[in-house]
Amino acid sequence: MSIYGDLGNTRTLASRLRWHGYTPVVHDHHPGEPWPEEAHLLLGGGGQDSGQARVQDDLGTHADRLRALAEDGVPMLMICGMYQLFGQAFTTVEGQRLPGLGILDVTTTGGSTRMIGPVVLDTAVGQVVGYENHSGSTVLGQGQEPFGQVRVGQGNNGSDGTEGARTGNVIGSYLHGPILPANPALADYLLEAAATRATGGWEPGEPDDALADQARRRQVLRLMSQGRQVSRVRQLLRR
């Protein structure tokens, strides 16, 4: 599933891996096709409810292997629809319940109102920017670590200030954009974990991330400034 440009995450990781001096091998997995013999990093994208229903059976076929890889520390980035299916369950707006893999302790319920707009997060790899577009409202289980804390945007459900979920090296998030071109530090976090697993170490190059970092910082400043202005207006209106 990749209807919001999430394929850009795969292309970003492949390019950055070359810039770091490694040779990427990319496998595109489709429902019903065999699994590659080795997998050092897994990516999944967003899709409509109908798309999630179509990939559910295939995920069930590979569920035990996916859980084992997650427990073994394989880095994974699951966006939007795949984030939901890596949770405990996703209930569509029509009431259909799709059981998830349970790798992330989250539960999602479809709604009639979409959460759309730019997002700024505080995360373990620094500030992350992206764009959310989802109608699913996700709740974290007790003890489940979020991917980030929302500074701008709505996040998992628009109310608890969390966005995404993270267990070990598995990250689930609603951020499109796609997320990785705008956040090189997050991309390299995933690559370091994958390269260490594949080769026993990580010997990074020196890619020029000046433009990406500048764009991210400017977006953070712009969105945070707008947020403060909106908050000030609301305070004045309450008086």
Q: What is the mean pLDDT of residues 69-95?
A: 92
| Domain map (residue ranges) of the chain | 7-238
Selecting among 20, 40, 134, 176, the annotated active-site residue is 176
Selecting among 20, 40, 80, 134, the annotated active-site residue is 80
The two three-digit tokens of residue 50, written as one number: 């109908």
184-194: pLDDT as tens digits: 999 999 999 99
Q: Is 67 annotated as a binding residue?
A: no
pTM of the model: 0.90
- What SS3 state is found at 235? helix
Q: How confident is the model at residue 2 (pLDDT cuts 50, 70, 90)?
A: low
d(CA 226, CA 205): 36
* Largest Cα–Cα separation, the chain: 64
pLDDT exceeding 90 applies to what percent of the chain? 69
Q: How confident is the model at residue 213 (pLDDT cuts 50, 70, 90)?
A: very high
CATH no. of 7-238? 3.40.50.880
Annotation says 80 is catalytic: yes
Annotation says 27 is catalytic: no
The two three-digit tokens of residue 138, written as one number: 């996700």
Would you state the pLDDT for residue 235? Answer: 47
